[in-house]
Amino acid sequence: MRFLSGISLWNNSKSSFILLILFLGSGYLSAQNANDLESKKKKVEQNIKKTQDQLQQTKDSKASTLKDFNSIQKKIDSRKGTIEEVQTEIQYVRTIIDDKNDAINSLKSEIINLKKEYAKIMRSAYKASLMTNEWMLIISSTSMNQAFNRWMYLRTIKKNRKAKAFSIAQKQLAIEVELASLENMKSGKQVLLNKEEKQSNLLLNDLKKKNTVLSNLTVEEKKLINDLNRQKKQQRAIANDIEKAIRKEIEKKEREARELAARERKKEKERAAAIEAANAKKEAKSADVVIATENVEEVKKEATVIKSTKVTEKKELVMSETPESASISSDFQANRGSFAWPVKRGVIVRRFGKQVHPELSHVEIINNGIDIKTDANAEVTAIFNGEVVHIAFLSGYKNTVMVNHGKYYTIYSNLESVNVDKGQKVKKGDSIGRAAVNGDTGNTEVHFELWNKQNPLNPSIWLKSR
């Protein structure tokens, strides 16, 4: 029987292996062949899942490390700002200290000049009076008035010198006190600067380490992406192997059908020749007319039975539509958009067509049907009148039932139990079986597909809107 050939079999949902199961049930593929392909498929899926998990972990680690890296970089930038600010403050204090030192040196110069000036006065007085002592200068006066004037003069000079010296000393002391304070401030700023520079160096070391980790994670990420691409390539190769295996078996069955048809045509010719021979005998032997006629009728009946059998077998092989089948197909087409759902209550959790794998974000899958989440142990019913043509079971996929509706087919998968038999006629609403729990999601789900000959159709368009 030729049906549903040349489609994509790679699907995360329960339909991923349904078509292969149905071919297996029809004798199209050996059980060993199917199990080998399924084993390879599952192994690649597991490898992809593992690589995907590792890739996600690497990405998470990379994101976390990058976050730390940026945080450290911000701290370093902040430290740089603080260091620059402290350096500016230290430079400012140094400038003030330099200015104060200049002021102290200036005052020291004034004191020196003052001393020099006083010494000059004393030298002049000495030269004038040849005295080495200011009191001698006073005593050597020629009159009391001169002595008084000299005393007042010397007193004024001495007083002014002391006052100026005291003023200079006070200024010098104030500057030295301020200078000491500035030196303390500079020392404190220098300690802060050293601390900031030390922390900055530590952060730079951390940044280097994080950068090394980031580089390693980037290399690991690239490696995992390459591994994932390689595994996806293996995945596609296995899908192609499944399609090739089915195509090969279909070609084999078509060849066998052609050979059988050729043998039947040969037999038909031989039967026709026998009838002609019988007619010839009838004309030649009038005495055996009754017997010959009976033989001919018997041969005709036998030929009719053989021809009918041949036509029936041929129709089964090529799946041609009978008038009844064509009528069912027409009625089926007329109900587009108004079919009842295969379960009373449910919601579509995986839609028809291309979509991203629910667990493997880098993998695109093709769902040949829809997956309906429903109530526990929900009854699954036929959406239209038809005939059960296949029933199959495979561990992990539960039971699958295919119903023929002329040139249309409906497939009900992930059934815990089946209430129909192969070849059984079913009507709309008849129980097909009970829904099972999806081992991957933990939900009670039914996988439902609708086909027109070899083409998968979107069931959502054919079912009533909810």
Domain 7-255, architecture per CATH: Orthogonal Bundle (1.10)
Spatial separation of the C-alpha atoms in residues 403 and 386, rounded to whole Å: 6
- Cα 338 to Cα 461: distance, rounded to the nearest angstrom: 9
- The 10s digit of each residue's pLDDT in 378-435 is 999 999 999 998 888 766 568 989 899 988 999 999 999 999 999 999 999 999 999 9
Please state, in angstroms and rounded to a whole number, the distance separating the CA atoms of residues 327 and 305: 26
Of all residues in the chain, the percent with pLDDT exceeding 90 is 19
- Per 3-state DSSP, the chain is made up of helix, strand and coil in percentages (nearest 5) of 65, 15, 20
Torsional class of 269: left (φ above 0), alpha (ψ -120 to 50), beta (otherwise): alpha
Sign of CA dihedral 447, 451, 457, 460: negative
Per-residue pLDDT tens over the stretch 157-188: 778 777 777 877 787 788 788 778 878 888 88
pLDDT in tens, 89-125: 878 878 887 887 887 788 778 778 777 776 776 666 5
CA distance 410 to 85: 78
Q: What is the DSSP string of 122-176?
A: HHHHHHHH--SSHHHHHHT-SSHHHHHHHHHHHHHHHHHHHHHHHHHHHHHHHHH
CB 366 within 8 A of CB 9: no
Note whether 72 and 206 are within 8 A (CB). yes
Domain boundaries along the sequence of the chain: 7-255, 327-462
Between the alpha carbon of residue 409 and those of residues 86, 412, 448, the distances in Å are 82, 10, 11
Distance, C-alpha 305 to centroid of its chain? 64
The mean pLDDT value of the chain amounts to 76
Q: Are strands 455-457 and 444-452 parallel, antiparallel or unpaired?
A: antiparallel
Q: Are 244 and 251 in contact (CB under 8 A)?
A: no
- Coil, helix or strand at residue 179: helix
CATH annotation of 327-462: 2.70.70.10
Per-residue pLDDT reduced to its tens digit, 189-219: 788 888 878 887 887 888 788 788 878 888 8
Tell me the sheet residues that pair with 435. Answer: 415
pLDDT tens for 243-266 read 666 566 557 766 876 888 888 889
Residue 322's pLDDT band (boundaries 50, 70, 90)? very low
The full DSSP string for 42-62 is: HHHHHHHHHHHHHHHHHHHHH
- Exposure of 60 by Cβ count < 10 A (0-12 exposed, 13-18 middle, 19+ buried)? exposed
Q: How far apart are CA 89 and CA 429, in angstroms?
A: 90
Distance from the first to the final alpha carbon of the chain: 36
Radius of gyration for the chain, computed over Cα atoms and rounded to the nearest angstrom: 55
In angstroms, rounded to a whole number, what is the distance separating the alpha carbons of residues 397 and 418? 13
